[in-house]
Structure 1
Amino acid sequence: MTVRVAAIDCGTNSIRLLVADVDPATGGLTDLDRRMRIVRLGQGVDRTGRLAPEALERTFAACREYAEVIGAHGVAPEHIRFVATSASRDAENRDDFVNGVVALLGVRPEVISGAQEAEYSFTGATRELTGAPDLAAPYLVVDIGGGSTEFVLGDREVTAARSVDIGCVRMTERHLLVDGAVVDPPTPERVAAIIADIDAALDQAAADVPLDRACTLVGLAGSVTTISAIAQDLPAYDPAAIHHSRVPVERVREITGRLLAATHAERAAIPSMHEGRVDVIASGALVLLRIMERTGAKEVVVSEHDILDGIAFAAAG
């Protein structure tokens, strides 16, 4: 018997909704509605330690929309899960965020730890991969978010996980933002500073997760899926074409160089680029490239199924 669930993943850059029917017996999941809004909840958090009022209002506007969708599908309150990640963990005023979500959706956000975030990501990303003949375990799942990146290694179950504070928004705000505007294109010195931060964070991740033991690298979230879309020269963002696509490291290196050398207008003109990722995609691509170079991965398997799907499985009980 299936259970209708609603899963919400509120990250640093985006907030996403999945309404689905889940069969707890088989692990099957059928999408009914899957959508995403760029809200930049983490705007300025790395600098101020607080959630900005305008960022909160953008997030609450998305919550109002999602409440209507959840109600239209008749999801029972006990099967709604709202998971909040990096930005809301870091903010001094996270109670403003929590109280606003409760008022709009009737559920309390779960401000999960990095380890919990990694486990949800792993479940969502690898459930379909188990048994694929050319995708050997163990899998290393990397979820490149706005404020943090999760690393999780495992086969059918997680064996090691670590969250580190590198993400496309955090790196952009820390190194590419001058007087409120993104430097386009960044100087070599600014790029080198991002790389230094990424490499230091990879050292932290490697202390807990043996990055070199993975046989298959699986990449999640908007930076990775956008790189896949660019690699395929898609005329528009196409989740079906992106899901389980594979991007060789040479192509990731080429795209990263192109994005770092581009202006805002040139990045915005890429057909598959979401407007909310234009300013942060170069940093996200650089995170992915350094991970691939560090692990020796020859390719990344791109998954559209990620933490959101893991939350949905958990919401089914």
Structure 2
Amino acid sequence: MQKISVIDLGSNSVKLVNFNVNPDNSYQAYQHEAVTVKLGEGITETGNLKEIPIRRTIDALKLFRDIINVQSIKHVLPVATSAVREAANRDDFLKQVHFETGFRFRVLSEEEEALYSHAGAIRALRLPSVLFFDIGGGSLELVSSDRFKIKKIISLPLGTLRLMQEFSDGSGAISEKNLAKMKSHIWDMIPSRKDMQLANDCVLVGVGGTLRSMAKYHQDITNYPLNKIHNYRLSAKSVHLISSKFALLKPEKITKISSISNGRAETIAAGSCVIDSLMNKLKFEQIVVSAQGLREGTLSLSLEYPKEFSVGRIEQEHIQNSIRYSYESDVIPQHMEDIVRFLISSNMITEQERLILAHSLRHISGSYMLQNITNFLSFGMDVDSKLDHRDQLVSVLSTIYSKKKKRLDKIFDRFDSILQQSDKKSIKKIASLILLSEVLGKSETRMKTKMLDNAISMKIYPVTSSFPNILFKDVCEKISDAFDIDISYSIIHNSKYSTSQTVQSL
């Protein structure tokens, strides 16, 4: 395992994320740092980055350098976006940054910024046709895709800091007159559905601090039972109500809202207005929030295409392939393929239940000691999953049920605003299959499944003579109960000289 740092230098803030990277190029973020530096402050008037924002930025980067050095992280990916990209004095700035901090920043083009962010977000979601947006301090990136194929890329000067500098007064508030002007300006800048070549079934997906803050605020006011932003859904009505409220508040009032940071309070009125206008003009009823974006996209593309990344030759095809590759996490372990295929073909489990099982086996089951239920719930829900919150809860509760059956009802009631009663049946089915996977996987056993006389008939082929017969029988009883069907099985032991068979019916 190696550690890699990604630094994202934007118009409003600079962010550091440290990742643990596994040999298979999968990764987990373990540290997030952000400093509001407002590097793009005043750039619209002069075309140059100003001295005070530059000094704030370099001071923040020195802090990041110390964090990286203390952890002995050797591989750092520093990228800069719109503020540096647009600055007339960017070369002087980049030289100064390198001299004082040692970081050599790569300035992303508008298209690169949009594509990298799109890759990071959509890799972490199960959505092949989307309109993706990333709203930052200086710009708004839009990427449309249909069945993973990228159709259109646009970058618009609708960043939150840029809009606040243009339309707010000296106190940071927006007057009613300027609010109307800003809304009209945003509306005129946003392209039509036809211009973006949107598929009929496309889903709106967004990233950025503004959207995350809106989602956190909405969770607070609705008493949402999960502390989780990734894959959270906001309705167009909720977005409009939140945007309308923030537009009327001065920054000092917004800072008193616990879910919104001081740095974000100064720009969220403009940012929420952009998101509201985007949903309204393009007629989206819901938005999906991604907690992953530019930083994760930068990392994943550098790992998958190191040569192309190093020379700035990442193409749309690379992005599309990267997103497709990420779906390998949906694969069921080989020892479970036969029975899962059988259960789907027999309509005993749905495709969605298969995906939940795959997630459970890959990310949750066996990866954490199930002793403290609260800690296990936090661990299981901490994964930024392609599953929505309901299905991810079903995945975690299935693992809990497989070990601590009596706790299900009490835990289920805690999340009754998300879960449905029908999910209990899914939990029991998935839990029984988790137990089966553990037995087959640990004993390296193959299995063949078919329907025989209205019962599930299994043929078990253990590799060794020490197959856990009693444990397997117990698991089969749980499967029989969960699926409400009879089960018979044959355990076939092969040796050099003979074959023995044990037949059992439940």
Matched, 1:312 2:308: no
Matched, 1:158 2:143: no
Moved over 6 A (4+): none
**Structure 1 counterpart SS, 2:228:** helix
2:121 equivalent in structure 1: 125
Any stretches of 5+ residues in structure 1 without a counterpart?
A: 131-135
1:96 equivalent in structure 2: 92
**Cα distance, 1:251–1:32 mapped onto 2, change above 3 Å:** same
Matched, 1:285 2:272: yes
Per the TM alignment, residue 207 of structure 1 is displaced from its structure 2 partner at its CA by: 7.6
CA RMSD of aligned residues (A): 2.3
2:187 equivalent in structure 1: 199
Amino acid across the alignment from 1:144:
I
Amino acid across the alignment from 2:188:
A
The one of 43, 49, 53 equivalent to 2:51 is 53
Per the TM alignment, residue 75 of structure 1 is displaced from its structure 2 partner at its CA by: 2.3
Counterpart-to-counterpart distance in 1, 2:153 and 2:130: 12
Matched, 1:172 2:164: yes
Counterpart-to-counterpart distance in 1, 2:19 and 2:106: 20
1:133 equivalent in structure 2: none
Counterpart-to-counterpart distance in 2, 1:48 and 1:207: 36
Q: Does structure 2 retain, via aligned residues, the 8 Å contact 1:124–1:310? A: yes
The one of 209, 214, 217 equivalent to 1:227 is 214
Amino acid across the alignment from 2:162:
R
2:4 equivalent in structure 1: 5
Counterpart-to-counterpart distance in 2, 1:40 and 1:212: 36
Counterpart-to-counterpart distance in 2, 1:197 and 1:211: 22
Structure with more contact order per residue of length (Cα contacts < 8 Å, sep ≥ 6)? 1
Amino acid across the alignment from 1:129:
L
**Cα distance, 1:74–1:158 mapped onto 2, change above 3 Å:** farther
Counterpart-to-counterpart distance in 2, 1:43 and 1:6: 26
Matched, 1:34 2:32: yes
Counterpart-to-counterpart distance in 1, 2:112 and 2:182: 26
Q: Does structure 2 retain, via aligned residues, the 8 Å contact 1:9–1:82? A: yes
Per the TM alignment, residue 59 of structure 1 is displaced from its structure 2 partner at its CA by: 0.5
* Within-5 A mapping of 1:206-225: 209-211=196-198, 213=200, 215-225=202-212
TM-score normalized by structure 1? Answer: 0.88
**Structure 1 counterpart SS, 2:275:** helix
**Structure 2 counterpart SS, 1:142:** strand
2:337 equivalent in structure 1: none
**Cα distance, 1:74–1:159 mapped onto 2, change above 3 Å:** farther
Once the two structures are superposed, residues 1-20 of structure 1 have per-residue CA deviations (whole angstroms, 9 ceiling, x without a partner) of: x4421111111001111111
**Structure 2 counterpart SS, 1:74:** coil
**Cα distance, 1:208–1:75 mapped onto 2, change above 3 Å:** farther
Counterpart-to-counterpart distance in 2, 1:298 and 1:207: 18
Q: Does structure 1 retain, via aligned residues, the 8 Å contact 2:132–2:204? A: yes
**Cα distance, 1:207–1:15 mapped onto 2, change above 3 Å:** farther
**Structure 2 counterpart SS, 1:124:** helix
The one of 299, 302, 307 equivalent to 2:286 is 299
Q: Does structure 1 retain, via aligned residues, the 8 Å contact 2:125–2:231? A: no
Counterpart-to-counterpart distance in 1, 2:55 and 2:113: 24
**Cα distance, 1:313–1:278 mapped onto 2, change above 3 Å:** same
Amino acid across the alignment from 2:72:
G
Amino acid across the alignment from 2:37:
V
Per the TM alignment, residue 21 of structure 1 is displaced from its structure 2 partner at its CA by: 2.2
**Cα distance, 1:112–1:298 mapped onto 2, change above 3 Å:** same
Matched, 1:188 2:155: no
Once the two structures are superposed, residues 56-90 of structure 1 have per-residue CA deviations (whole angstroms, 9 ceiling, x without a partner) of: 011101100111122223222xx321111111111
Q: Does structure 1 retain, via aligned residues, the 8 Å contact 2:4–2:76? A: yes
**Aligned residues with identical type, % of pairs:** 29
Counterpart-to-counterpart distance in 1, 2:200 and 2:94: 39
The one of 60, 67, 79 equivalent to 1:69 is 67
Amino acid across the alignment from 2:171:
A
**Structure 1 counterpart SS, 2:73:** coil
Once the two structures are superposed, residues 146-191 of structure 1 have per-residue CA deviations (whole angstroms, 9 ceiling, x without a partner) of: 11000012244533211111011111111113xx432x3x333211
Matched, 1:249 2:236: yes
1:141 equivalent in structure 2: 132
Q: Does structure 2 retain, via aligned residues, the 8 Å contact 1:137–1:214? A: no
TM-score normalized by structure 2? Answer: 0.56
Amino acid across the alignment from 1:21:
N
Between the two proteins, the alignment pairs up a number of residues equal to 301
Any stretches of 5+ residues in structure 2 without a counterpart?
A: 307-506
Per the TM alignment, residue 209 of structure 1 is displaced from its structure 2 partner at its CA by: 2.7
Counterpart-to-counterpart distance in 2, 1:240 and 1:122: 24
Structure with max Cα Rg: 2
Once the two structures are superposed, residues 251-297 of structure 1 have per-residue CA deviations (whole angstroms, 9 ceiling, x without a partner) of: 01001110111123321111111111222110000000011112211
Per the TM alignment, residue 92 of structure 1 is displaced from its structure 2 partner at its CA by: 1.4
Per the TM alignment, residue 212 of structure 1 is displaced from its structure 2 partner at its CA by: 6.1
Higher mean displacement: 263-272 or 252-261 = 263-272
